[in-house]
Amino acid sequence: MRKAHLPPLILTTFYRGTIESILSSCITAWFGNCTASDRKTLQWIVKTAEMIFGVSLPSIMDVYSTRCIRKTALWTTPHTPHTHSSPSCHLERVDPVSRSGTL
């Protein structure tokens, strides 16, 4: 791919969309139980991709840390209901005092 003289941004996007996506699938569940040998092998894959693409990529540990932080932020952030622009979709709002629903 590097021989095609593609810009680094395209190479990085390709890596993140393919290789990193596969490597990080459910990483927050399985990475903590990896052995040092497993982590070294995973990092070798990242380093090989760096050599092929000729760009600097985040380490597998950085990917794991980022995903954990993102998951934690999702768990601790209060969620609000989403509204839709479709006229057929209405969300019911409940008045906390009277508990009566209004559209």
Domain ranges of the chain: 2-78
Whole-number Å distance between alpha carbons of 58 and 36: 18
pLDDT tens-digit profile of 30-77? 888 889 999 999 899 999 999 988 888 899 899 888 888 888 877 777
Percent of the chain with pLDDT over 70: 74
Q: In the block, which residue shows the tokens 């390709």?
A: 14
Q: Is 64 exposed, middle or buried (0-12, 13-18, 19+ CB in 10 A)?
A: buried
What pTM was computed for the model? 0.60
